[in-house]
């Protein structure tokens, strides 16, 4: 049996449409089912510290209160497989400037 190039092109195009549909379904699914904000926000204070739920954040190891912040993606296998992991949720990570311990805070969008 000989495979025609037009048949192969139709199969590739169909797979592309299927992948596109899957990506759109994931985006819509995540947007519809997104839960309302439940985690308290991380608030930088004027003196260079951070507060969560009304309490100043301190390092659980050295009790330091100076941090560097970075937003980290919480990757899931499906979105990583599809190479659209930028759609995943994220967290704010505080890195203690004294000892380097990482403290994670969920970040609702
Ligand atoms: Zn520390």
Consecutive 10-residue averages of pLDDT for the chain (109 residues): 81 92 80 65 84 92 93 86 83 93 82
Question: What is the whole-number distance in angstroms between the Cα of residue 78 and the centre of ligand 1?
Answer: 35
User: Residue 103: in which H helix or E strand, if any?
Assistant: strand 102-107
The model carries a pTM of 0.60
Distance 66 CA to ligand 1 centre (A): 8
The pLDDT assigned to 56 comes to: 92
C-alpha to C-alpha distance for 42 and 49, rounded to whole angstroms: 10
The reported pLDDT for the residue numbered 61 is: 97
> Token match 């139709």: residue?
10
Can you name the residues that pair with 96 across neighbouring β-strands? Answer: 67
The reported pLDDT for the residue numbered 82 is 82
Q: Work out the angle at residue 14's Cα, subtended by the Cα atoms of residues 8 and 18, and round it to the nearest 5 degrees.
A: 145
Strands 42-44 and 90-96, bridge-based pairing: unpaired
What is the Å distance from ligand 1's center to 16 Cα?
Answer: 49
């Amino acid at each position: 049996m000989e495979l025609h190039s037009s048949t192969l092109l139709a199969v590739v195009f169909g797979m592309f449409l299927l992948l596109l549909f899957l990506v759109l379904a994931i985006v819509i699914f995540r947007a519809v089912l997104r839960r309302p904000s439940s985690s308290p926000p991380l608030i930088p204070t004027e003196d260079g510290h951070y507060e969560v739920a009304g309490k100043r954040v301190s390092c659980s190891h050295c009790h330091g209160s100076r941090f560097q912040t970075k937003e980290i993606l919480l990757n899931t296998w499906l979105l990583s497989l599809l190479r659209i992991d930028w759609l995943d949720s994220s967290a704010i990570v505080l890195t203690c400037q004294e000892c380097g311990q990482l403290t994670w805070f969920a970040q609702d969008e």
